[in-house]
Amino acid sequence: MSAWPAVPLVAGEAWPAASPAKRLPFSELRGSSSSSSSLRSKIRRSSSQPSGGVSLSADAALRSKQQHQQQRRQRRQQQQLAGLLVGCSALARKRLGSAALARRRLQLSAAAGEQLSGEPRGLRSGSLRGSLFLFQIPLTLPTVFPASLAGLLPKHSVVLAELAAESGGGFAAFDFEPRQKDSLGSALRLLSGGSVPGRFGAREMRQLPSGAVRVGLLKEDASVEQVAGAIALNARFDSNLSLSSNDCNTYARSVLELLLNQPSSPTGQRLYSTLDADVMDEGSQLVYKEPSLIGAIVLVAGTTVGAGILALPAVTQKVGFLPSSGALFLCWLYMATTGLLIAEVALADMASSGKQATSLQSMASRTIGPIGAFVSSASFVIVHFGLLVAYISKGGELLAEVFGGASAAAPGPVLFAAVFGGLVFATKGSDTLELLNNAFAAVVLVSFFLLVSLALPLVEPSRLFDVADWSSTSDIVPTLLLSLVYHNVVPTICAKLEGDRGKISLAIVVGSFLPFLMFLIWNGVILAAVPPGGSADPLDALRASQGSGLLGLGVLAFSLSAIVTSFIGFVIALTDFFADVLGDGSSSSDTGSARNLNRVRDFALTLLPPLALACYDPSLFFQAIDKAGAFGVSMLFGFLPAWMALMQRASELPVLVRSPGFLGGYERAPLAPGGVAVLVVVGGGALALVAENALELLTGG
């Protein structure tokens, strides 16, 4: 049907016309001087003839030749640009931008469809020898549908295999398409999620279309009969076509697996491997240093458990335990999904650039373009500065309490930033910092269970059901989202775990789920231990009602350790961000000194602005934290990951990225399930939250 690929690829259907693919000499491409002067002399001689018709024919011939040469030049430029774009080189992405790449790729795909040529010849047999290619073009929908809809649908995939010389040469094209291509009803059923009868076929092509991607070498003794027989005899091949589970990409992937000469070595899960420098210093032996999955989980969990858990009971007591627990679970599910989306884009960025370190700014610049890079950078810095103000302010207050008050010469925020900021500066990049972070995380766990056990005698379960204001649940969502933030360390986790997709997914899901359980238990115990309806902070009310030194010590240890673990994660992420944006910026021969100066610069930019705000007005934390989740977190860690993942997936070939053997043994399929529907829900939910809170600000609600 006209709603399907403009290039029919099944026996019995006609191919559009195209020109043969041959390389022209430069003189012929530009127009040789000898042929041009000869033609001009003929025109001049013809102008002296009595009949003017000869002169007119010569003029027409000259114009025809010039037009033909111009078409050849344009076609050659298109083919060269197509190879550049399909290669997805970092240089092309930087110069053209991701949006321009996507638009140009669509234009070239359409142009390639027009260039396909040859009379149709049904291909039922033939030996295959040489290389294997993949060619994809957008679907062409009926005019009743908007043109932009084709960009959201899977592209039509064609597998091209070189035919052996004894089989006539050229290429064998394999694809899968609807039986009734011209049926509008088939298009409607497919777009509504249904399926239609499909057919798999092979066809001979004389030339390779521009934009085809070389996948690898063919297996020995590969043939057209082998592919047709495997498709016909294998019971798992479904003859019904659908856009979700059994489309042309499914068949293309199966044909590639059948024909591609796979490497003998097994595919790996990592992007790179880290060598143990300590062992290398002692001898010449190269030893692989296994990354710590436990350390990555602890880093995610420690970053999540911060100041948000201290404010959680004060926010949730007005809506009740059951509504807040349901909202907390949905917020965890949302934030775990966006964390996987960030990891998905970060892994693609690391694979394409070859760099270990990346940031949200780099990912947004590559996938969205300059606008996305600016928005992500501004949001990232604002959110991190705001939360660091919170941690320095609250941490300084708690640290001053530990030392019996702060002096005028060393206020609490200055003391906190100097002690723990200096600790991160001195140990960043070493195992010592990981050990310290793990130690503070252990204190969080021990003090948490100590605090819960001390509060259990005060618990009255009936209080959990006294309040259930479901209508006000949306009011606490910004604080819940802020409490579950760990996304700033996701790029660090990806580099720490060497790009291992399985370990990264496990670290994100488990590392964020543990704080969710802690929040759930914490919320229930505190709300059940304090009478409902009070206006004071439940934690302060609990400490005031008991006056117990042990309970007060438990609250202090838990609060300070939770803030320190979160502070460490945010400082690491923000210093990595400044290092990525500003670079090393040094051409000095003394690289060690230049590296130390850059570390000082990054830490100064990270700590001094929030420290100044915390010292100037500590109450700014309470005003900013309420809206940080509504605007900063929802946009930076909600809408932006969905947008980046959508652009990332649109720029890839799904037939290749979902099979490790097709891309050097590393799989780049989506980490978060659900396809485009999940991206729409994630991005739409973030925009809805921003709109609701913006309306409240405008109306004074």
Asked if the structure places residue 333 within a domain, the reply is yes
The predicted pLDDT at position 688 comes to 92
Sequence-distant (≥ 6) Cβ neighbours of residue 671 within 8 angstroms: 340, 341, 343, 344, 347, 501, 504, 505
Asked if the structure places residue 493 within a domain, the reply is yes
Q: How confident is the model at residue 102 (pLDDT cuts 50, 70, 90)?
A: very low
Residues 308 and 232 reside in one and the same domain: no
Residue bearing the bigger pLDDT, 655 or 473: 473
Asked if the structure places residue 384 within a domain, the reply is yes
Residues 451 and 567 reside in one and the same domain: yes
Could you give the number of structural domains in the chain?
Answer: 2
Residue bearing tokens 């992500």: 376
The predicted pLDDT at position 75 comes to 58
48: pLDDT strictly greater than 50: no
The predicted pLDDT at position 210 comes to 80
- CATH of residue 345's domain is 1.20.1740
pTM strictly above 0.85: no
Residues 317 and 433 reside in one and the same domain: yes
401: pLDDT strictly greater than 70: yes
Residues 193 and 303 reside in one and the same domain: no
Residues 203 and 322 reside in one and the same domain: no
Residues 217 and 325 reside in one and the same domain: no
397: pLDDT strictly greater than 50: yes
Q: How confident is the model at residue 683 (pLDDT cuts 50, 70, 90)?
A: very high
Contact 467, 317 (CB under 8 A): yes
Q: How confident is the model at residue 146 (pLDDT cuts 50, 70, 90)?
A: confident
Asked if the structure places residue 34 within a domain, the reply is no
What is the tens place of the pLDDT at every residue in 272-308? 666 666 665 566 666 767 788 998 998 898 888 876 7
Residues 326 and 205 reside in one and the same domain: no
Integer-rounded Cα radius of gyration of the chain: 32
The predicted pLDDT at position 262 comes to 67
Helix (H, G, I), strand (E, B) or coil at 284: coil
d(CA 135, CA 146): 24
Mean pLDDT over 579-607 rounds to: 74
What is the tens place of the pLDDT at every residue in 11-44? 333 333 333 333 333 233 333 333 434 433 433 3
The predicted pLDDT at position 516 comes to 95
Mean pLDDT over 364-387 rounds to: 84
d(CA 150, CA 159): 21
Asked if the structure places residue 466 within a domain, the reply is yes
The predicted pLDDT at position 76 comes to 56
Phi and psi torsions of 154, nearest 5°: -60, 140
Nearest 5 degrees, angle CA 237-CA 175-CA 212?
135
Residues 504 and 626 reside in one and the same domain: yes
Contact 402, 555 (CB under 8 A): no
Asked if the structure places residue 659 within a domain, the reply is yes
What is the tens place of the pLDDT at every residue in 303-354? 888 767 877 888 888 899 999 999 999 999 999 999 999 999 998 888 777 7
d(CA 298, CA 278): 24
451: pLDDT strictly greater than 80: yes
Q: How confident is the model at residue 2 (pLDDT cuts 50, 70, 90)?
A: very low
Cα–Cα distances (Å) from 485 to 299, 304, 322, 435, 509, in that order, read: 12, 5, 22, 22, 13
- Its domain, for residue 657, covers 292-521+549-579+592-699
Q: Which amino acid is at 501?
A: R
Residues 338 and 240 reside in one and the same domain: no
What is the tens place of the pLDDT at every residue in 555-589? 788 888 888 888 887 898 888 888 877 875 544 44
Residues 198 and 320 reside in one and the same domain: no
Residue bearing tokens 């690289």: 591
Helix (H, G, I), strand (E, B) or coil at 175: strand
In terms of average pLDDT, the best of 197-211, 328-342, 619-633 is 328-342
Sequence-distant (≥ 6) Cβ neighbours of residue 462 within 8 angstroms: none
The predicted pLDDT at position 532 comes to 79
Which stretch of 97-106, 522-531, 638-647 has the lowest confidence by average pLDDT? Answer: 97-106
Sheet of strand 195-205, all strands in order from the earlier edge strand to the far edge? 213-217, 128-137, 156-163, 171-178, 195-205, 240-242
Residues 145 and 255 reside in one and the same domain: yes
49: pLDDT strictly greater than 50: no
236: pLDDT strictly greater than 60: no
The predicted pLDDT at position 333 comes to 96
Mean pLDDT over 157-161 rounds to: 87
Residues 559 and 489 reside in one and the same domain: yes
Asked if the structure places residue 110 within a domain, the reply is no
Mean pLDDT of the chain: 74
Asked if the structure places residue 636 within a domain, the reply is yes
d(CA 29, CA 66): 10
